[in-house]
């Protein structure tokens, strides 16, 4: 296809190139998964939901695995990646983006501390039990402090809870803030809405819970252990609740845009009907929200038939993580497919092999799963899942 076929109407001459590629779609997607997984673990750590306990530590490891790659798409996309660190040294504080380094680092510290406190007992036991380099590794992880008396563990738990209480607003901030990066751009009518941070946050929670469900089912299947259905159904229930909040906000945005019908409505209509019709109505709304919503209602009203319900929850979760990816795509790419002249549209064509192409995106998306496998090898969270089953 030539550039001519990709352009409709009039676009400003400099707009022919789409600036933010698939990597910038991944950025809010990954931070969303982080925030969602963390908030899922907080359901136990902060709100004391015992039924979530079996996956609470696993959720923290999941959050960390994804958090560790969250900066990768951003840095890869920079025109001068080596200067990226300047955002930490000389942040320009009027920029919504300038806070990223600090918010990210703060949150990373919270997640690391939370994991350390949650796993400290296991780490110390391993440090005392094992030999050789493993002993050294666990001793280092224990920071050479081996007090696991009941009192010490109790203090750990209290501190972990306090941290999680700070963690929730941090997670909300980390991701709501990503929404603001888009929502605060008055130049782009598809992005500019105060609802953006909260829409991002809700979809983040939804995607994080769905991911956790999928990882939980997969891990149990790989390890040939039975699922704890109380936990699974409880997660499904929360998924359903957050889906409702998510869809209400997403629709509210579209409905008010249509109802107010400002000058940009013509180009927004064209965006929705021509450019992102499939990914918006098809994937984001129908597949990502409507079908899981119905399936999860069925799960909640059906009695027994655990295997079928598990299958329905798994399908819902797969649809949700795909749907949320589509939502990120529709915002990031969709917003760049309309010209700021409000008179034309462009088309983003992903390239496979390039610095900002599909290949690096795939690598970045696969990496957290490998990191998670390593993390669960060092810090196995499985005993919670099994202990509750008897």
CB of 17 to other proteins, least distance (A): 7
Contact between 347 and other proteins (CB under 8 A)?
no
User: What is the per-residue DSSP string for 170-202?
Assistant: HHHHHHHHHHHHHHT-TT-TTT--TTHHHHHHH
CA distances from 358 to 13, 59, 74, 323, 363 (A): 26, 27, 14, 18, 9
Q: Which stretch binds other proteins (CB under 8 A): 37-45, 61-69, 78-86, 219-227?
A: 78-86
Each residue 296-335 as x (binds other proteins by CB under 8 A) or -, in order, gives ----------------------------------------
CB of 164 to other proteins, least distance (A): 27
Identify the bridge partners of residue 345 per DSSP, sorted by sequence position.
Answer: 8, 338
> How far from the centroid of its chain's Cα atoms is residue 244's Cα?
18
Q: Among residue numbers 180 through 219, which ones bind other proteins (CB under 8 A)?
A: 181, 184-188
- Closer to other proteins by Cβ: residue 76 or 284: 76
- Closer to other proteins by Cβ: residue 98 or 322: 98
Given CA atoms 83, 89, 90, 94 in this order, what sign does their dihedral have?
A: positive
Which residue in 148, 195, 265, 343 binds other proteins (CB under 8 A)? Answer: 343
In 3D space, the residue among 323, 114, 322, 313 whose CA is nearest the CA of residue 231 turns out to be 313
Which residue in 16, 136, 143, 255 binds other proteins (CB under 8 A)? Answer: 16
Burial group, residue 133, by CB count within 10 angstroms (0-12, 13-18, 19+): exposed
Which residue in 103, 153, 342, 358 binds other proteins (CB under 8 A)? Answer: 342
In 3D space, the residue among 358, 359, 291 whose CA is nearest the CA of residue 329 turns out to be 358
> How far from the centroid of its chain's Cα atoms is residue 9's Cα?
36
Q: Among residue numbers 79 through 118, which ones bind other proteins (CB under 8 A)?
A: 79-80, 83-84, 86-98, 100, 102
In 3D space, the residue among 216, 176, 246, 199 whose CA is nearest the CA of residue 62 turns out to be 216
The binding site for other proteins (CB under 8 A) comprises: 3, 9-17, 19-20, 74, 77-80, 83-84, 86-98, 100, 102, 181, 184-188, 336, 339-343
């Amino acid at each position: 296809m030539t550039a001519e076929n990709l352009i409709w109407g009039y676009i400003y001459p400099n707009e022919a190139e789409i600036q933010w590629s698939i990597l910038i779609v991944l950025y809010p997607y990954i931070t969303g998964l982080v925030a969602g997984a963390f908030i899922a673990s907080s359901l136990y750590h902060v709100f004391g939901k015992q039924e979530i306990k079996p996956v609470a530590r696993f959720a923290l490891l999941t959050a960390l695995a994804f958090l560790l790659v969250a900066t990768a798409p951003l840095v890869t996309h920079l025109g001068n990646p080596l200067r990226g660190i300047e955002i930490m040294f000389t942040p320009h504080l009027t920029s919504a983006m300038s806070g990223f380094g600090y918010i990210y680092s703060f949150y990373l510290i919270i997640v690391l501390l939370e994991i350390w406190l949650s796993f400290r007992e296991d780490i110390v036991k391993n440090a005392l039990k094992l030999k050789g380099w493993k002993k050294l590794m666990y001793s280092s992880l224990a920071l050479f402090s081996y007090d696991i008396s009941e009192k010490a563990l109790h203090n750990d738990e209290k501190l972990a809870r306090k941290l999680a209480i700070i963690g929730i607003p941090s997670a909300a901030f980390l991701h709501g803030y990503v929404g603001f990066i888009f929502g605060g751009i008055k130049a782009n009518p598809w992005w500019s809405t105060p609802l953006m941070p909260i829409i991002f946050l809700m979809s983040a929670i939804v995607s994080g819970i769905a991911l956790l469900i999928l990882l939980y089912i997969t891990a149990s299947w790989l390890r040939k252990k039975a699922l704890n259905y109380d936990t699974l159904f409880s997660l499904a229930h929360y998924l359903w609740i957050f889906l409702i909040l998510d869809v209400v906000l997403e629709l509210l945005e579209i409905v008010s845009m249509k109802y107010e019908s400002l000058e940009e409505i013509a180009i927004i209509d064209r965006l929705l009907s021509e450019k992102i019709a499939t990914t918006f109505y098809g994937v984001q709304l129908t597949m990502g929200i409507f079908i899981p919503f119905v399936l999860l209602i069925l799960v909640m009203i059906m009695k027994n038939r655990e295997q079928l319900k598990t299958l329905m929850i798994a399908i819902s979760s797969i649809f949700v993580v795909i749907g949320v990816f589509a939502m990120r795509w529709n915002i990031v790419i969709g917003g760049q497919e309309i010209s700021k002249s409000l008179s034309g549209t462009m088309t983003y064509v992903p390239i496979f092999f390039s610095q900002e192409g599909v290949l690096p995106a795939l690598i970045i998306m696969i990496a957290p799963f490998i990191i998670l496998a390593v993390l669960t090898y060092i810090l196995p969270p499985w005993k919670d899942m099994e202990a509750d089953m008897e």
